[in-house]
Structure 1
Amino acid sequence: MNLSNLKPAEGSVRNNKRLGRGEGSTRGGTSTRGHKGAKSRSGYSKKIGFEGGQMPLQRRVPKFGFKNINRVEYKGINLDVLQALNEKSSVAMMDVAYFVQHGLASKNAKIKVLGRGELTAAVEVHAHAFSQSAIEAIEKAGGKAVTL
């Protein structure tokens, strides 16, 4: 076998139907589209969500809820994650750049330290927000929680 005699597998390639090429072809006349109606015309494409004139689902279901434009999204990082990071590479201070470097947050994310797990290392943690239990645990371990 070489590049000059490559060809598709047997039966994998079929010729397409040649529509509208006269009655002798058996696909002339209506060209397999049936008689009249929008679907038989050229240029037809139904609207997204159209259900044949029945009231579409997106209009039957009522609107509810709203998006609070003042909401602040935080990326939560728990104490057990901080402890694991500290065991891997012992550092005195953890800030946003440190979390970004270790893949825990994106560079524009606001970070909130949460209280799951326990922290034994004395580290200074800089973040945008802290839960009350996280502050207590960090200070109990001899560290410092600095709000940005």
Structure 2
Amino acid sequence: MNLSLLQPAPGSVKDRKRIGRGTGSGRGGTSTRGHKGAKSRSGYSSKLGFEGGQMPLQRRVPKFGFKNFNRLEFAPINLDVISALVVNQNTTIVDLVFLQSHGLVSKNDKVKILGRGEINSAVEIHAHAFSKSASELIEKAGGKIVLI
């Protein structure tokens, strides 16, 4: 066996359509484009969403709502998640670097601590926002809240 004998597996390579080579080819005349109309002409391209003159879907469906571009999106983290981490890792400070290292938030996330669950140890928590219930539970356990 040598490189000159290599060839593709049978049936894996098809011949390309040779269009516009006369009627004997079976694809002469209209060159597989049908008869007349814009699509048979060279240079044809339609607009995105064009439905042949019928009222297009994006104009038939009514508009509603709006996107508030000033909205702040927070990554929510509950106290039960934090307390489980604190017990496992045996730490007293929970900040963004700690949360990133455990895969709870990504680099540019703003973090809000929510009050689901219990926290039993005195922990200093750094975050962008806290819910009322979360802040009460943290301070009741002897912990500290630090707003970033």
TM-score where L is the length of structure 2? 0.89
Q: How does 1:92-103 map to 2 (within 5 A)?
A: 92-103=92-103
For residues 3 and 145 of structure 1, what CA distance do their matches in structure 2 show?
71
The answer to whether residue 7 in structure 2 is matched with residue 7 in structure 1 is: yes
- SS of equivalent to 2:71: coil
> 1:131: how far off?
0.8
Matching residue of 1:112: 112
- Does 1:29 pair with 2:29? yes
Deviation track 1:54-80 (CA, whole Å, cap 9, x = no partner) reads 010101112111111221111101111
Alpha-carbon distance, 1:40 to partner: 0.6
Deviations 1:26-52 (A, max 9, x none): 211111111111111122222111111
Q: Which whole-Å CA distance do the structure 1 matches of 2:70 and 2:8 have between them?
A: 59
Distance 1:63 1:2, change over 3 A: farther
| Amino acid paired to 1:96 | L
- How far does residue 85 in structure 1 lie from its aligned partner after superposition? 1.4
Q: CA RMSD in A?
A: 1.8
Q: Which moved more, 1:124-133 or 1:39-48?
A: 39-48
Report what 1:71 is aligned to: 71
User: What percent identity do the matched residue pairs reach?
Assistant: 68
Count matched residues.
Answer: 148
**Match of 1:17, as an amino acid?**
K
Q: Which runs of 5+ in 1 are unaligned?
A: none
